[in-house]
């Protein structure tokens, strides 16, 4: 069956990559995000756009918008004009990133939150136009907890203490960020809203289920959270995916660090092999009924039915990101 990787950052068309995508019949939805204030992110977005235009059977793209400029009265109009242009140029969604909520501040030190009235007209416009919003708000809950060896995100926060919010109580809490996100869901009930990375509720599918029940306009992608699923009880995760089978999208969040086409052939082959392993690990976890190893964790595969796999692998992406059709 065809597969849509609905969350990846892999803007290249090296022959080795195209061969892998053809082998598994995978289409990549490349996700832009505005890392910094200013327009630097547009270079990557342009690459994603042009790949999607050249090879629509293998690539699609999601745009983003400049970080809010709090002192610029023209910000909202410019943002909507730019988004209109990007959707006309084939974008299928718009991304908002975690720097909204965790980085951008008002001059008085308050953190700018995703439910700030400044962004409401942008989200209202997306909803009116039927364009989806992909939202990466907050971080895994581990970010706010003491470092615990063996937890899914131990490696990242031990290497990147500046992002470990447990040691930075002046930053917004996980709960505050989730509440701001939930207010956007409530304020824009017709906005197709996809929560990246299991909507930052990766630690327990029961909590995600409660959030699904409150907000029918919410779906999630599983990108970069396979391990968080694998450490939960497989029967519980299977029941969750079966119950919410129309609202969970497949994705990996693999980031291409160096453009493949600029690598020597051996390294290029290595990078594509690494990507292959990411895919085969995911497929084993979702499809097999036997023992599966995710990173170094032993678990049991979910053994999902064909019908549920089709939704997870591509039908839900087509439904939540209609521009993919």
Q: Which residues contact 4 (CB under 8 A, 6 or more apart)?
A: 26, 27, 29, 249, 250, 313, 314, 317, 318, 324
Please identify, using beta-carbon distances, which residue of 140 and 301 lies nearer to Zn ion: 140
* Ordered alpha helix ranges (H), 188-264: 196-199, 205-214, 226-230, 234-243
For residue 135, the minimal CB distance to Zn ion (Å) is 12
How many CB atoms sit inside 10 A of residue 204's CB?
Answer: 15
Cβ nearer to Zn ion, comparing 202 with 253:
253
CA distance 161 to 109: 21
Least distance from Zn ion to the Cβ atom of residue 253, Å:
4
Cβ proximity to Zn ion, 127 vs 196, nearer residue:
196
Provide the 8-state DSSP code for 231. T
Q: Tell the smallest beta-carbon distance from residue 33 to Zn ion (Å).
A: 7
Closest contact distance (angstroms) between CB of 137 and Zn ion is 13
- Of 12 and 253, the one with the shorter C-beta distance to Zn ion is 253
Q: How far is the CB of 92 from Zn ion (least distance, A)?
A: 15
Task: State the residue for tokens 């953190």.
Answer: 111
CB of 48 to Zn ion, least distance (A): 12
For the chain, report the end-to-end CA distance as a whole number of angstroms.
16
Phi, psi of 269, deg, nearest 5: -65, -40
Rounded least distance, CB 7 to Zn ion, Å: 6
SS3 244: coil
CB 87, CB 131: distance < 8 Å: yes
Q: In the chain, what is the greatest distance between 2 CA atoms, to the nearest angstrom?
A: 58
Position closest to Zn ion via CB: 253
Secondary-structure breakdown of the chain: helix, strand, coil percentages, each rounded to the nearest 5: 50, 15, 40
Would you tell me which residues interact with Zn ion (CB under 5 A)? 253
Q: For residues 321 and 263, what is the distance between their CA atoms, to the nearest angstrom?
A: 32
Tell me the closest approach of the beta carbon of residue 139 to Zn ion, in angstroms. 12
Nearer to Zn ion, 182 or 223 (CB): 223
Cβ-based nearer residue to Zn ion, 8 or 241? 8
d(CA 96, CA 123): 10
- For Zn ion, the closer CB: 75 or 279: 279
Q: Between 16 and 253, name the residue whose CB sits nearer to Zn ion.
A: 253
């Amino acid at each position: 069956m065809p597969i849509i990787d609905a969350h990846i950052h892999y803007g290249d068309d090296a022959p080795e990559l195209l061969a892998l995508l053809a082998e598994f019949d995978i289409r990549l939805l490349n996700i832009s995000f505005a890392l910094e204030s200013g327009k630097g992110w547009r270079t990557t977005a342009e690459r994603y756009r042009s790949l999607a235009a050249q090879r629509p059977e293998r690539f699609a793209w999601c745009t983003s918008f400049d970080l809010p400029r709090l002192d610029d009265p023209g910000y909202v109009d410019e943002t909507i004009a730019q988004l209109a242009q990007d959707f006309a140029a084939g974008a299928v969604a718009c991304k908002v990133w975690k720097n909204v909520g965790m980085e951008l501040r008002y001059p008085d030190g308050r953190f700018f939150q995703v439910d700030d009235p400044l962004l409401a007209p942008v989200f209202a416009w997306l909803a009116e136009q039927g364009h989806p919003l992909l939202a990466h708000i907050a971080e895994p809950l581990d970010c706010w907890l003491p470092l615990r060896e063996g937890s899914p995100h131990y490696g990242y926060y031990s290497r990147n203490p500046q992002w470990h919010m447990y040691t930075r109580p002046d930053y917004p809490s996980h709960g505050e960020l989730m509440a701001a996100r939930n207010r956007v869901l409530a304020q824009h009930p017709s906005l197709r809203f996809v929560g990246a990375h299991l909507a930052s509720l990766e630690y327990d599918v029961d909590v995600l289920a409660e959030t699904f029940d409150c907000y029918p306009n919410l779906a999630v992608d599983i990108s970069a959270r396979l391990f968080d699923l694998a450490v939960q009880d497989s029967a519980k995760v299977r029941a969750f995916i079966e119950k919410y089978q129309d609202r969970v999208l497949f994705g990996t969040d693999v980031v291409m660090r160096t453009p493949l086409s600029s690598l020597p052939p051996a390294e290029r082959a290595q990078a594509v092999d690494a990507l292959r392993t990411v895919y085969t690990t995911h497929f084993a976890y979702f499809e097999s009924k036997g023992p599966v190893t995710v990173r170094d964790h032993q678990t049991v595969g979910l053994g999902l039915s064909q019908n549920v796999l089709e939704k997870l692998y591509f039908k839900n992406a087509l439904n939540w990101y209609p521009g993919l059709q």
